[in-house]
């Protein structure tokens, strides 16, 4: 098709879209020919889906941990959540559409009880219609030529419209979409693309989204509607369609083959939840939590834009043969603008158990007064166990606890004075391993409480009286430490067995079960974790005794950043030993840490990075003026280069001469999977320094006959 023919087709499509918009005076029974060839066929619910809806409603009301009835108030909340899912950035619907939906708002609750799905499907069909109209409009503007867009005015665009008002009418939406196009063109121009390339990129993006809109299925509407409904109870309760259920766990499928990343839908994007330790993405080093995937490219092929795609289809595209390369275009979590993307090439492979195994290191430190200390470091990427080998009776099966016990033995043979357990980025794993790992550091006793939806409480115990290590202990955590990591860190803190250092953990303190339906499956939250001191790990996570700032944005990552997350609460504590009371030395430990923080170039650089990221995240809009935007872009890039060169200076390395040199170096580092870091990162070293301070203070206190030495205290109790 020639450019002239394509433009004519666009114009026909736009006219028909406008005509269709005028014809549809009510959000029911839509059917429209949007361009010269495609027809949007409204989707309709099936009998199987209606039955599944009734079963889901019953399960939620009678078996979910949260006691929540289906009321008129809930009806309005489901309505809002459903619209947020379908049009979270408020770029498709108008206030006129919302007025037509107003009669449905209070009806959804009673309809969902009885399997009446048509109201939800009516909303879905209207949104699909509006998506098609918007994409046709955008493609029409592109065909007119992006050189006709004006970049000399002082216009700006809101980056996050999730809290904005819907535009009043179609004319206002047209103006918004022209701004969106300007923003996309500006970002690509600043990244060095010419107008021909930009036109091709945007055309392929919007044509791909348009194709997905035309291919909407009844199951898409049902899954979106049910997840808006189930999400009222908590963010981890969700409906799996039959196709998703065939693999059951998309997360597990990606964990074991492909790139080793756990993904989820986030409005029209696919978002990275976490990386699997030892997996290809984790080893490659560029992909991170909260990054959003824009396109996926197979080796030697053009990228496929996946905005608006279903999660299972994005997963299928990312999977592939071992040793093949998949290239992801992502919006980094730190990006201030969704058009600022990075390209990441990852070699597919399986995640091998040995690559997730615990490992050890030794650091040598000087404390006050010139005393030398040797500190052992054990890094635990995940709580793992080789269940197949265990069930087969293999006496040498691998597990977190068995491996850590062996590493402790080796470190004690090296004569370490203290131990640091690094749980940063450990997203959890096998619950019984967390229970057993606590047992390496305490005598017999409870490790975690599990409260069920019927309010019965189960207490897991360490029943092995042996202790693998009774010396001083520091546990490192960050925002990505979750679930089983929080159980271990919380127990160590409650027992007074060691200090928790780092940043507040994720706060994932719930347990889910998967229940079959007549049509698909329901993943439902049925219980909640509580520490032996009675407080839940849910929502709040574990608060460190000594805090170290983090680059991770806690407003975007963590349980308390999720809608309808179950709250923190507490139950009765269970009797447990208190091995050491840190209250006498904690203030001094914090003081010494802060003094090091204020004088350390590494900590200063970290704080500079954090402040820079906060400043970028605080921007709620960007300019659409070419000169202003270029100046802002150059300033951001120069700051990035300055920070990178400051870090190289600390390491005694030559600074980068340009941003291109920095980018080439980062690509080379990411591609080098065999690289080793000879020097442990400074957060681990700070954990060791806190350990050295602890040993010094403990010795001082013991010298005045205070019974506070770690070993003596443990034996006494």
Q: Which residues are catalytic?
A: 483, 494, 508
Residue from 190, 194, 205, 92 nearest 146 by CA: 194
Q: Dihedral sign, CA of 694, 699, 700, 704?
A: positive
Structure tokens at 79: 């309505």
Triad 251, 450, 74: Cα angle to 5°: 70
Taking the C-alpha atoms of residue 510 and residue 565, their distance in angstroms, rounded to an integer, is 10
Triad 620, 644, 291: Cα angle to 5°: 45
Taking the C-alpha atoms of residue 520 and residue 616, their distance in angstroms, rounded to an integer, is 42
Distances (CA, A) of 646 to 384, 525, 640: 38, 47, 10
Residue burial 635-661, b: 16+ Cβ < 10 Å; e: rest = ebeeebbeebbbbeeeeeeeebeeeee
Taking the C-alpha atoms of residue 347 and residue 392, their distance in angstroms, rounded to an integer, is 32
Cα dihedral 267→271→274→277 (10° resolution):
150
Taking the C-alpha atoms of residue 403 and residue 288, their distance in angstroms, rounded to an integer, is 27
What secondary structure letter does DSSP report for 109?
H
The tokens 């080093």 sit on which residue? 285
Whether the Cβ atoms of residue 239 and residue 522 lie closer than 8 Å to each other:
yes
Q: Strand, coil or helix: what is 169?
A: coil
Taking the C-alpha atoms of residue 139 and residue 476, their distance in angstroms, rounded to an integer, is 51
Whether the Cβ atoms of residue 473 and residue 457 lie closer than 8 Å to each other:
no
Structure tokens at 56: 């889901």
621: which residues sit within 8 A by CB, 6+ positions away? 156, 157, 158, 159
Taking the C-alpha atoms of residue 494 and residue 475, their distance in angstroms, rounded to an integer, is 13
CB-side neighbour CA atoms (13 Å) of 711: 7
Triad 319, 255, 303: Cα angle to 5°: 30
Structure tokens at 675: 């690289």
CB-side neighbour CA atoms (13 Å) of 591: 6
432: which residues sit within 8 A by CB, 6+ positions away? 385, 460
Q: Give the helix ranges, DSSP H, for 397-495.
A: 400-413, 431-439, 484-494
Q: Alpha carbon 11 to chain centroid distance?
A: 41
Residue from 447, 357, 443, 442 nearest 402 by CA: 357
Q: Dihedral sign, CA of 27, 28, 33, 38?
A: positive
Taking the C-alpha atoms of residue 437 and residue 419, their distance in angstroms, rounded to an integer, is 14
Q: Strand, coil or helix: what is 257?
A: strand
């Amino acid at each position: 098709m020639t450019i002239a023919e394509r433009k004519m087709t666009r114009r026909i499509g736009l006219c028909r879209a406008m005509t269709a918009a005028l014809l549809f005076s009510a959000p029911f029974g839509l059917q429209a020919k949007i361009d010269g060839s495609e027809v949007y066929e409204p989707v309709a619910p099936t009998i199987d889906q209606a039955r599944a809806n009734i079963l889901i409603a019953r399960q939620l009301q009678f078996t979910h941990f949260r006691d929540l009835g289906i009321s008129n108030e809930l009806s309005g909340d489901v309505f809002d959540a459903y619209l947020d899912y379908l049009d979270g950035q408020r770029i498709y619907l108008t206030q006129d559409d919302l007025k037509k939906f107003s009669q449905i708002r209070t009806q959804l609750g009673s309809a969902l009880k009885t399997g009446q799905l048509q109201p939800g499907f009516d909303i879905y069909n209207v949104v699909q219609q509006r998506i098609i109209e918007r994409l046709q409009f955008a493609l029409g503007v592109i065909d007119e030529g992006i050189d006709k867009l004006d970049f000399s005015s002082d216009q700006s665009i809101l980056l996050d419209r999730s809290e904005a008002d819907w535009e009043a009418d179609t004319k206002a939406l047209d103006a918004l979409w022209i701004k969106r196009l300007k923003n996309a063109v500006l970002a690509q121009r600043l990244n060095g693309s010419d107008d021909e390339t930009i036109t091709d990129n945007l055309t392929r993006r919007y044509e791909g989204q348009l194709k997905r809109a035309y291919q909407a299925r009844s199951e898409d509407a049902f899954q979106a509607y049910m997840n808006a409904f189930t999400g009222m109870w908590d963010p981890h309760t969700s409906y799996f369609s039959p196709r998703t259920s065939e693999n059951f766990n998309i997360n597990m499928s990606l964990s074991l083959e492909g790139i080793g990343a756990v993904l989820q839908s986030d409005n029209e994007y696919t978002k990275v939840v976490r990386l699997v330790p030892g997996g290809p993405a984790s080893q490659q080093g560029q992909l991170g939590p909260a990054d959003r995937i824009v396109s996926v490219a197979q080796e030697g092929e053009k990228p496929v834009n996946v905005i608006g795609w279903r999660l299972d289809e994005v997963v299928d595209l990312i999977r592939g043969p071992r040793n093949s390369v998949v290239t992801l275009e992502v919006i980094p979590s730190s990006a201030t603008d969704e058009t600022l993307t990075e390209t990441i090439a990852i070699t597919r492979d399986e995640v091998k158990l040995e690559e997730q195994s615990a490992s050890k290191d030794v650091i040598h430190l000087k404390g006050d007064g010139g005393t030398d200390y040797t500190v052992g470091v054990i890094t635990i990427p995940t709580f793992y166990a080789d269940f197949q080998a265990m069930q087969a009776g293999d006496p040498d099966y691998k597990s977190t606890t068995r491996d850590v016990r062996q590493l402790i033995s080796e470190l004690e043979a090296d004569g370490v004075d203290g131990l640091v357990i690094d749980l940063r980025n450990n997203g959890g794993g096998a619950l019984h391993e967390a229970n057993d790992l606590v047992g390496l550091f305490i005598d017999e006793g409870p490790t975690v409480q599990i409260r069920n939806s019927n309010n019965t409480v189960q207490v897991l115990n360490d029943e092995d009286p042996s202790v693998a290590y009774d010396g001083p202990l520091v546990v490192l955590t960050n925002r990505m430490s979750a679930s089983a990591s929080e159980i271990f860190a919380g127990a160590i803190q409650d027992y007074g067995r060691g200090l928790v250092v780092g940043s507040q953990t994720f706060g994932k303190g719930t347990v889910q079960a998967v229940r079959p339906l007549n049509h698909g499956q329901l993943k439902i939250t049925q219980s909640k974790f509580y520490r032996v001191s009675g407080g839940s790990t849910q929502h709040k996570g574990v608060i460190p005794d000594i805090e170290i700032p983090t680059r991770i944005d806690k407003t975007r990552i963590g349980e308390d950043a999720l809608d309808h997350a179950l709250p923190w609460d507490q139950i009765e504590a269970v009797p447990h030993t208190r091995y050491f009371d840190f209250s006498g030395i904690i203030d001094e430990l914090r003081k010494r840490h802060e003094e090091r923080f204020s004088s350390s170039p590494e900590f200063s650089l970290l704080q500079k990075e954090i402040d820079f990221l906060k400043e970028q995240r605080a921007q709620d809009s960007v300019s659409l003026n070419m000169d202003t935007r270029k100046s802002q872009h150059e300033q951001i890039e120069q700051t990035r280069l300055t920070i990178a060169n400051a870090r190289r200076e600390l390491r005694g390395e030559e600074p980068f001469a340009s941003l291109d040199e920095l980018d080439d170096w980062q690509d080379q580092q990411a591609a080098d999977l065999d690289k080793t870091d000879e020097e442990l990162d400074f957060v681990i070293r700070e954990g060791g320094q806190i350990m050295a301070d602890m040993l010094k203070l403990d010795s001082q206190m013991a010298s005045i006959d205070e019974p506070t030495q770690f070993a003596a205290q443990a034996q006494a109790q």
